[in-house]
Amino acid sequence: MFDGNMREQVDRGLEPIGVALRNAGFTADVLTITGIGMSTAAAITIGSGHLLLGMVLMFLTGIPDALDGAVAKASGTSSSRGAYFDSVSDRLSDIILFSGVAWYLSDTRDSQIHMLPVAVMGVALMISYQRAKAESLGYDAKGGLMERAERFIALGVGLFLGSFNDDLLIIVLWVMFALTAITAVQRFVKVWKQASEGHPKARR
């Protein structure tokens, strides 16, 4: 929902910050790599049981993730290579963070519930693949109830609640799984309709 409704407004608001960071000598690649490093730190912190600190670190990873594109535009270095690197780094950060949650649950629970964040991650990657594949064929696959920004916020809420009671974190993860699965279905149906309506690039 965020990507479809607010992305352009947020990007415009970040333009002055991107210019300031460019003038300070930062590059988009440096910010992207910093985001990966911060995601790793957050995952390790979560896995070791410090959920509140992990939540804070996770939200801090959103800063370089949001600003790398603004710096690239301000520097005039926006490119397909940069977009590819940014997209891959986003998927890598998602994998790292959910792996940290799985690590935490595997240490605190005797059941197989640690596979739940792995399942959420798997469906989230399916959503990302659907968009990438659809756009490569000329279709629009944006939108849905639980895009990356919503997952980011929901996981933060889950970590906060989980610092008081693990069961609350698990409940949030189940909700995330359900909404992420619904989003995957929404995107599939959206692209299927476009292909069925005789889009110029429609093909089997």
Q: Residue 171's domain is classified under what CATH number?
A: 1.20.120.1760
Provide the domain limits for residue 92: 2-196
pLDDT tens digits, one per residue of 124-164:
999 999 999 998 899 988 888 898 889 999 999 999 999 99
**Is there a domain that residue 185 lies in?**
yes
**Is there a domain that residue 202 lies in?**
no
**Is there a domain that residue 73 lies in?**
yes
**Is there a domain that residue 203 lies in?**
no
**Is there a domain that residue 34 lies in?**
yes
Global confidence as pTM: 0.85
Task: Measure the CA–CA gap between 137 and 12, rounded to whole angstroms.
Answer: 28
Whether the pLDDT of residue 203 is over 60: the answer is no
User: Which candidate in 3, 11, 29, 90 is catalytic?
Assistant: 90
**Is there a domain that residue 141 lies in?**
yes
> Residue 79 in contact with residue 54, Cβ under 8 Å?
no
Query: For the chain, what is the domain count?
Result: 1
Q: Would you tell me how many other CB atoms lie within 10 Å of the CB of residue 197?
A: 8
pLDDT tens digits, one per residue of 161-196:
999 999 999 999 999 999 999 999 999 999 999 988
Active site residue 107: no
**Is there a domain that residue 57 lies in?**
yes
**Is there a domain that residue 87 lies in?**
yes
> Residue 152 in contact with residue 55, Cβ under 8 Å?
no
